[in-house]
Every structure is written in structure tokens, then in C-alpha cells.
Structure 1
Amino acid sequence: MLRVLPYLLILVFWLYGMVDCALSDRRQVRGGLSKTTWFLISVLPVVGIVLWFALGRPRGTTPPRADRGQGRRPVAPDDDPDFLRGL
């Protein structure tokens, strides 16, 4: 089992990197290459994924705000005065 563990870890790391590359926003990919090129590079099991995480992966960004300056909205229907008025 211990002989298989390094290969299993490499496989998991490779699959995680491939999915991360595929789901990343193409406008935020770094490294001056397109997302398709990064995906093709990440096909190389160890080297490609290390390059993706080191050079191509978008850095941590904050998600876009959903409220767009409209103020705070109620979370649940029973907190919404308009909904309660309609009952």
C-alpha cells in the first residue's frame, strides 16, 4: 500500500489541478497564456500542474458583490416585508 500512495497522491493532485484549470475564469488566468494553453500544459501530470499552480492560476480574488449598491436585502421570505404584506 505504501508503494501505491505516492502515485495516488500525484493522481489526486493532477486531477484537482485539471479541474481547477477547467473551472477557472479565463479572464483572470495569469502567465500571458490562454486558458486552453494552460489546460494543455496541465495534461503533463507533475510538471504541468506545478506550472499551473505557480504561474497560471488566478490569485485569490473576492467574488463579485451581488447587491450592486441596492442596500441589504432580506434573506428569507418571512423577513421580507413585501412578501408578508401579500399574505
Structure 2
Amino acid sequence: MARLLFGLGVAAVIFTIYAVADCAFFDRMRIRGLSRGWWIVVIIFVPIIGPVLWFIIGRGRRTSSVSGGRGHTVAPDDDTDFLRRLGQDTEQDERIRRLEQELAELDSEADTPGSADDQHPAGPGATRPDNPETPGEAGPSGRPNA
């Protein structure tokens, strides 16, 4: 029985030393809960529970995105999210350019003097589809239509 207790004591000391060393060399930006000094105090003065709390609570995980870590910068050509947004922006710019070109073509067709909107096949005395009154009758303004 004494050997078992001695073995558990040695394991607890090794675990505590490992937790103190891990806390001392761990990235300061990823420590959660308490500051580094307070975590070392908790690890040393609360046997077994202190190191367990350090590994469960205090030791922060890495962020899932490449550029999402605090204090960690990534070059734009290494950031996959940035590169994906560039491709989307390029596609949107190209689509906008095509739509503007089509709109300019439609405007130029409507501005030509011989367009279908300016000509009336029935002649000047015929009624237009957008003005159903017959020539000579008073229109909405009270003046006779020409």
C-alpha cells in the first residue's frame, strides 16, 4: 500500500511540474481565466485540482480560422477567406460591367432618331396606343388633340 501511495505522490508531483512548465511557456494571448502568474499559484498551491483546472479552463485552444487569432497576422496570399472574397469580388465586378454595357447599348438604341418609338405607321392623324382619344377631341388637359 505504501508503494502505491508513493507512486501516486510521484505522479502528482510530475503532473504539477509539467503543468507549471506548460503554463510558464504557453502563449500569453491564449491563456483564459486568470493571468499567467495566478495560474501558476493555483497550480502549485492546489494539488491535483490546480493542474487539472489549468488544462481544462486556462489553456485556450487555437482558433479555427487561420487569421482569427488575436495578435496573429497572416499575409493576404496565405488567408484562404481573403482569397475567396477576391474571387467573388472579381465575379461581381465583371457582372456589373456586363450589365452596364448592356444598359448603354439599350440607351443608344432608344436614342437613335429612326427608332420604332418615334415612327407612327398610320400617319400624323392616327391615334397612338398610349393616347386612345381620337384627333380633335379634348384630352385630359382640356386642349384638343392634334
**TM-score strictly above 0.5:** yes
How far is the alpha carbon of 1:30 from its aligned partner? 1.3
8 Å CA contact 2:30–2:62 kept in 1: the answer is no
TM-score calculated relative to the size of structure 2: 0.39
Letter in structure 2 aligned against 1:19: A
Alignment match, 1:65: none
How far is the alpha carbon of 1:60 from its aligned partner? 4.7
Superposition misfits of 4+ residues, deviation over 4 angstroms: none
How far is the alpha carbon of 1:15 from its aligned partner? 0.6
Greater gyration radius: 2
Counting only pairs closer than 5 Å after superposition, residues 1-87 of structure 1 correspond to structure 2 as 1-31=3-33, 33-44=34-45, 45-60=47-62
Greater helix fraction, Structure 1 or Structure 2 = 2
TM-score calculated relative to the size of structure 1: 0.61
8 Å CA contact 1:29–1:35 kept in 2: the answer is yes
8 Å CA contact 1:21–1:38 kept in 2: the answer is yes
Letter in structure 1 aligned against 2:28: R
Aligned length: 68
Letter in structure 2 aligned against 1:55: I
User: Counterparts of 1:61 and 1:16 in 2: how far apart (Å)?
Assistant: 24
Q: Which runs of 5+ in 2 are unaligned?
A: 65-74, 79-146
How large is the Cα RMSD of the aligned pairs? 2.7
Q: Which runs of 5+ in 1 are unaligned?
A: 63-67, 71-87
User: Counterparts of 2:63 and 2:16 in 1: how far apart (Å)?
Assistant: 23
8 Å CA contact 1:24–1:58 kept in 2: the answer is no
User: Counterparts of 1:60 and 1:19 in 2: how far apart (Å)?
Assistant: 19
User: What is the SS of the residue equivalent to 2:15?
Assistant: helix
User: Counterparts of 1:49 and 1:2 in 2: how far apart (Å)?
Assistant: 21
Letter in structure 2 aligned against 1:52: W
User: Counterparts of 1:55 and 1:40 in 2: how far apart (Å)?
Assistant: 15
TM-superposition CA deviations, 1:13-63 (whole Å, max 9, x none):
1110010010011111012x211111111112212111111110122569x
8 Å CA contact 1:21–1:39 kept in 2: the answer is yes
